[in-house]
């Protein structure tokens, strides 16, 4: 007999997602109403069990986007790095996920609490290494990536994805 209590605490992944039935043109018209695009932010407790919640947040906001899977993976890598490599992972630490969406780009940023390592996007990782591939994955998925900040104020690690199917580029 399966343990039902354990089944209740395991976060569901893809079966909760509903197909998006909103026309892309309507979504982009709504985004165009806001100069600079639309911005969403959410603060998460600085624990590893919050990384799936950050993924779900991203998936929900980008349900209609062809970049949804890449953005979700980027958020997972950056959130895990914030928890692992900064004071976000300490007692009472937090990290913030920010998504900025224009009709042409999606910018994903994760803010940490500082006092950790500086992100190195160009660092090479060993082929058989079990760790140290997160920023390489982010760099491979994103069109641009970088970071700002320092140990005292925290870091903003970001990645930008250009939407391949924006209405502006597909209209004739």
Residue pLDDT, tens place only, 13-45: 444 445 556 677 777 777 777 778 899 999 999
The pLDDT score that the predictor gives to residue 35 is: 79
In this prediction the pTM is: 0.79
| 77 and 134 Cβ atoms separated by less than 8 Å | yes
User: Is residue 10 pLDDT above 50, yes or no?
Assistant: no
Average pLDDT, the chain: 83
The pLDDT score that the predictor gives to residue 72 is: 97
The pLDDT score that the predictor gives to residue 1 is: 47
Q: What is the pLDDT of residues 117-159, one digit of tens each?
A: 778 776 676 666 667 788 999 999 999 999 999 989 999 999 9
Q: Please report how many Cα atoms fall inside a 13 Å half-sphere around the Cα of residue 96, on the Cβ side.
A: 15
Compute the distance between CA of residue 52 and CA of residue 55 in angstroms, rounded to an integer. Answer: 5
User: Is residue 171 pLDDT above 70, yes or no?
Assistant: no
Secondary structure E strands in the chain? 38-45, 94-101, 105-111, 144-150, 154-162
* For range 108-119, the mean pLDDT: 90
């Amino acid at each position: 007999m399966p343990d039902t209590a354990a089944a209740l605490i395991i976060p569901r992944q893809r079966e909760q997602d509903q197909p998006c039935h909103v026309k892309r043109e309507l979504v982009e018209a709504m985004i165009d109403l806001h100069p600079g695009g639309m911005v969403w932010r959410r603060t998460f407790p600085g624990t590893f069990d919050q990384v799936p919640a950050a993924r779900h947040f991203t998936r929900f906001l980008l349900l209609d986007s062809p970049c949804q899977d890449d953005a979700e993976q980027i958020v997972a890598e950056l959130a895990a790095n914030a928890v692992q490599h900064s004071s976000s992972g300490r007692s009472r630490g937090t990290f913030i996920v920010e998504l900025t969406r224009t009709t042409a780009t999606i910018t994903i940023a994760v803010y940490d609490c500082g006092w950790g390592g500086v992100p190195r996007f160009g660092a090479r990782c060993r082929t058989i290494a079990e760790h140290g591939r997160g920023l390489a994955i982010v760099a491979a998925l994103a069109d641009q990536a970088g970071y700002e900040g320092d140990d005292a104020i925290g870091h903003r690690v970001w990645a930008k994805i250009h939407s391949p199917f924006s209405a502006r580029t597909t209209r004739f």
